[in-house]
Structure 1
Amino acid sequence: MDGVCRNSFGLLNVSMFHAYTCSLCFTYLFPRANIHAERNNSKESSIDTKSPEYICDSLGEHDCSRWKECCKAAEQCCQHQLKTAVSSPESNLCPRTWDGLRCFDDTAAGDTVMLSCPHYIKYGNMQGNVEKYCTENGTWALHPVTGKEWTNYSGCVDIQSMSGGAYAEVSANTFSLLLLVPAVAIFLAFRQLRGQQRIQLHVCLFLSFILTSILNLIWEVVVHRDRIQNRSEESFMFRQQNSCKLINILGRYARATTFFWMFCEGLFLHRLLVHAFRNPRNIRPYLLIGWIGPSVPIFIYSMMRWKFANDLCWVQNAGGFEWILYTPNLLSIVINLIFLMGILRILLTQLHQHPNEPSNYRRAIKATFMLVPLFGLQLFLVIYRPGSSQWLNIYEIASKIIIGSQGGVIALVICYFNGEVIACLKNTLRKLEIFKSKRHSLVTNYTVVSQRFRDNDTVVREKTEMCEMENIMLTETKNNVNGNI
């Protein structure tokens, strides 16, 4: 066995083993990825597919690092096999091997080897274990469908954590919808509110969050949860790839509109301060920025994905292409941070001019509390994604809650805690109470009048009956007198 190493497909010399196992790493880690290259129509064009730089051109930086770590682990496995003494054929041991992701030593028949999950598996559970069974006849267990050597990696997929993230996503977006939809209805119901340009911008921002929450819920229910509960070949992601890509890209557009509208909110408030609270003539430029602006990077990203990274449902990280969407979103948050600093500077200047007025301190705290979620600055809390699996699950759940509930928090601050909105609602309730009291008074008066009419009718009826009785008695008396005569 000198000079050869074993993988799940048999014995190979060292150089062939390295090339073959590296290709297996790529296949297992990125089952739906494509290696892209410029090809001429002639069949003579050749590509150096052994170059790591060539492979990494089709992957993001993080995925490239994962692939290289897998290749390095395979190389170390081969070195370990070469240094370990060869067991005799009569020992009835399952042979040492590389299964494509993990290295296994010689194992006694009937034993099950348990190893920790490799860290380069995407979304893997690092606390889980890989299991490989050596049968009684000294051969590795075979997969019941493919008939090839098989390793059980189900313990490396943390279904519970993935389900927890899905529940967090659904709960946060449902919370936002339950607050955003009534908030829009309130803004549109009162004429004194919907006529203000500031409120019109708020409505557009709320609509962008409503659209985002709806598409997030569709993604979680139709795509994500379906993929967790069903086999890959039976899932919506595999069966309806074009529909899945459409849902994905619409969700990204909706998410981008929230960033653009948060920028519009910051720009509008900044202009008010700079121009001494003089409102602009109309909000058409803001409408173009908020709704049309995001479509430009989304269109460019879609074209790049379609041509260069057209993988399954576009869920894999596309490397540098992702910055087509990340850049305008990040710029929106950074510019809003600059706007917030300018607003706080003005408030602090007022505090220095009137240091003995507590109301100024309350105004500064209130403005900060209101503008942080409105400008999306809380997203800085989840801007860094940890690489350690120990904190990754906590990060995923926390980021889904913070991002998904942002619309609901903004609705609370801008609508439900707004003194002007509260005053409008109180006036409406007061009018309803007055209307009810008037209606009750009218009903009561009507009842009294009706009762009086009924009482009068009774009196008249009784008087009429008495008159009739008197007439009858007089008539009978006259008849009796005449008869006696």
Structure 2
Amino acid sequence: MRWVGFAQKVFISFLLLVVICFYENRALPNTANQSYCLSDAYNTSKMCSVRGSLLSQSIWNHYTGFFCYNYTNDARFNKKLKYNLNFSFNCKGYTLKLPVAIVNESTIAMYDYGDSESVNLLKNSFKTEKMFDNYLKCCRDAEYCCANSMNDENLALSTTYCPVVWDAWSCFPRTPVNTVAALPCSSQAYQSPDKVCTLESKKECIWNGTLALWNQQTNYTACAIAPVYLRRYNYHVVALIVCIAWSLPAIIIFLSIPTFRETTRVILHRNLLIAIVVRNILTITSRKTIIIDALLSPSLSNHLMEKNTVLCRILSFFGSAATSSTYACMLVDGYYLHKMIVRTFAKEPQVINLYIVVAVLTFLPSLIWATIVGVNERTSCWTVDSHGEQWAVDSFRVIILLINTFLLLDIIRVMISKMKQGGTTRQTKAAFRATLFLIPLFGLHIFITAKKVVINDTCVAEDIYDYFRYTMEASQGVFVALLFCYANTEVHNELKNAFRKLSIHLNQRYGWNIGPKTKSRRRTTTATYVQSRDSRSDF
């Protein structure tokens, strides 16, 4: 029986707790002159300054919460709630006027972030949790500014200093007249809820002929993050275009000369360049049609990224697959080079098997990633990784880079050993010299920029990092084309041979002389230009 009595007491206590919580957190009805009193937790005699007006600390959170909410970028809301700036309440016979949000015809919400029920109602109007958290941070910063940065001394008007003020987003300190105070931009000032780098807002303390007063309008124009993004992305696009322009002639050369179309090592170099070009084209398309389009959109919401269409998600998928294909080609190319130098007498791998490996490593990681983001119904055309799902493809890429690191180190080990023994041919030495510059081929340069490391959070520091990262990404195709095509002796000889054959053909058929003049009277034939085996070098 004692257990029954104890259970009844627990059940009754639980019901009382639920009733109390419901009573304390109930939504306020949209009815004027209802009973509502301010919290006793604040000092009613303490005054704080918001936008040049002094308010009691007891009503501070209501008004600063109103400013934080209504000055929030409209693009962060599902539907921004309307407001009544002077809603009347009755507190023990006295009329109290406070700003409130109109949730609907029957419900209002207080802007005081300490009111849990009102906070939940306001939260529902934001698009994401992150955007709502930025609003709460603004409210907390305002409360901290009043409680810790304002007192009777620094709020007093004077002829030499502007007083401390909360401008609706930032807490500007006491500042000498005719100077400009600068503060890191509030998270509310950014179009994106995520801070990219530290920008500064500015507020001018001016002399009005009698007192030192703040310019009512704070300059937040420098907080626009879109120009920062645009500079970086436009540079990225230009760098990728240069890489494409540099790589295409090498691809054409590899496809045009019959010998190169039948040589496995050249086929692998060619495929890597093709993968790089395709990746660059898809990256440029994504940058221009999705990301840059969103940055330039005047409405902040009517753009492709916001619409999250099927086509833009397909573009993101193939962009991810194209990036994975470059890693797959780097792995296969590195494996074959390792086989040539370290395992010289190993069986020649079949090209079809190498193609299968590339195809699997190209699409499998991206399919896994696309499945994860699709099931979780991610938005922004899958271009923004807010939940760490990018590791579905990055893990494969890191493994490939680690394998290539091992292969390169093993190549260097074997080559050093052979040179010490004096058992190296001219071709082997040439290959080893090229190996020292094979970082772009093996993709190891990506390790340098894999982790975002900046000396501080200024935009200049992040600009340096991003420009360097984009340059390294674009340089891969440039170096591969340079090492294995433009600076390669065998390519030079094949091109010279092809040009001589063309010269002979045009001379014999049309009588044109497009080649260099020679004093020799020997009749020119194709056999005249056959190269000796020793004149050819390896890739």
Instruction: Please confirm whether the aligned pair reaches a TM-score higher than 0.5, indicating the same fold.
Output: yes
1:317 aligns with 2:385: yes
Residue 188 of structure 1 deviates from its aligned partner by: 1.9
Cα offsets for 1:306-343 (capped at 9, x unmatched): 44472433343324222222211222112111110001
Higher strand share: 2
Note if contact 1:351-1:360 (Cα within 8 Å) is conserved in structure 2: no
Counterparts of 2:132 and 2:483, CA distance in 1:
43
Match of 2:76 in 1: 31
Within the candidate set 346, 350, 354, 1:281 is matched to 350
Cα offsets for 1:383-405 (capped at 9, x unmatched): 23234224211111111111123
Counterparts of 2:376 and 2:205, CA distance in 1:
40
Residue 441 of structure 1 deviates from its aligned partner by: 4.6
Match of 2:413 in 1: 345
1:208 aligns with 2:275: yes
1:295 aligns with 2:366: no
Within the candidate set 94, 97, 116, 2:183 is matched to 116
Cα offsets for 1:254-297 (capped at 9, x unmatched): 2222112211222233344336243113333x323323323233
Counterparts of 1:343 and 1:67, CA distance in 2:
56
Q: Which has the higher contact order (CA 8 A, sep 6+)?
A: 1
Residue 155 of structure 1 deviates from its aligned partner by: 0.6
Secondary structure of residue in 1 paired with 2:182: strand
Counterparts of 1:232 and 1:279, CA distance in 2:
59
- The 1:442–1:354 alpha-carbon spacing in structure 2 relative to 1, beyond 3 Å, is closer
The within-5 A match list for 1:110-149 is: 114-118=181-185, 122=194, 126=198, 128-131=200-203
Secondary structure of residue in 2 paired with 1:233: coil
Residue 130 of structure 1 deviates from its aligned partner by: 3.5
Cα offsets for 1:5-59 (capped at 9, x unmatched): 777899875996799699969x7699389xxxxxxxxxxxx9x989xxxxxx977
Residue 191 of structure 1 deviates from its aligned partner by: 2.1
Match of 2:289 in 1: 222
Question: In structure 1, what residue type is equivalent to 2:410?
Answer: G
Note if contact 2:286-2:316 (Cα within 8 Å) is conserved in structure 1: yes
Within the candidate set 375, 389, 401, 1:333 is matched to 401
- The 1:386–1:116 alpha-carbon spacing in structure 2 relative to 1, beyond 3 Å, is farther
Residue 67 of structure 1 deviates from its aligned partner by: 9.4
Counterparts of 1:65 and 1:384, CA distance in 2:
26
Question: In structure 1, what residue type is equivalent to 2:76?
Answer: P
Question: In structure 1, what residue type is equivalent to 2:246?
Answer: L
Residue 367 of structure 1 deviates from its aligned partner by: 1.7
**What TM-score results when the alignment is normalised by the length of structure 1?**
0.67
1:402 aligns with 2:447: no
Note if contact 2:60-2:143 (Cα within 8 Å) is conserved in structure 1: no
1:427 aligns with 2:497: yes
Residue 80 of structure 1 deviates from its aligned partner by: 2.8
Counterparts of 2:416 and 2:246, CA distance in 1:
33
Within the candidate set 449, 452, 455, 1:382 is matched to 449
State percent identity of aligned pairs: 21
Report how many residues are paired: 410
Secondary structure of residue in 1 paired with 2:445: helix
Match of 2:110 in 1: none
Note if contact 1:176-1:409 (Cα within 8 Å) is conserved in structure 2: no
Question: In structure 2, what residue type is equivalent to 1:283?
Answer: I
1:268 aligns with 2:320: no
Q: Which moved more, 1:248-257 or 1:2-11?
A: 2-11
- The 1:270–1:30 alpha-carbon spacing in structure 2 relative to 1, beyond 3 Å, is farther
5+ residue gaps, structure 2:
1-43, 79-116, 122-127, 514-539
Residue 206 of structure 1 deviates from its aligned partner by: 1.8
Counterparts of 1:320 and 1:153, CA distance in 2:
31
- The 1:354–1:283 alpha-carbon spacing in structure 2 relative to 1, beyond 3 Å, is same
Match of 1:165 in 2: 232
Note if contact 2:268-2:333 (Cα within 8 Å) is conserved in structure 1: yes
Counterparts of 1:2 and 1:358, CA distance in 2:
90
Counterparts of 2:377 and 2:204, CA distance in 1:
34
Residue 427 of structure 1 deviates from its aligned partner by: 1.1
Counterparts of 1:207 and 1:214, CA distance in 2:
11
- The 1:419–1:87 alpha-carbon spacing in structure 2 relative to 1, beyond 3 Å, is closer
**What TM-score results when the alignment is normalised by the length of structure 2?**
0.61
Match of 1:103 in 2: 171
5+ residue gaps, structure 1:
34-45, 51-56, 142-149, 444-485
- The 1:305–1:432 alpha-carbon spacing in structure 2 relative to 1, beyond 3 Å, is same
- The 1:127–1:234 alpha-carbon spacing in structure 2 relative to 1, beyond 3 Å, is closer
- The 1:259–1:3 alpha-carbon spacing in structure 2 relative to 1, beyond 3 Å, is farther
Residue 208 of structure 1 deviates from its aligned partner by: 1.4
Larger Rg: 1
Question: In structure 2, what residue type is equivalent to 1:241?
Answer: N
- The 1:329–1:132 alpha-carbon spacing in structure 2 relative to 1, beyond 3 Å, is farther
Note if contact 1:270-1:339 (Cα within 8 Å) is conserved in structure 2: yes
1:236 aligns with 2:303: yes
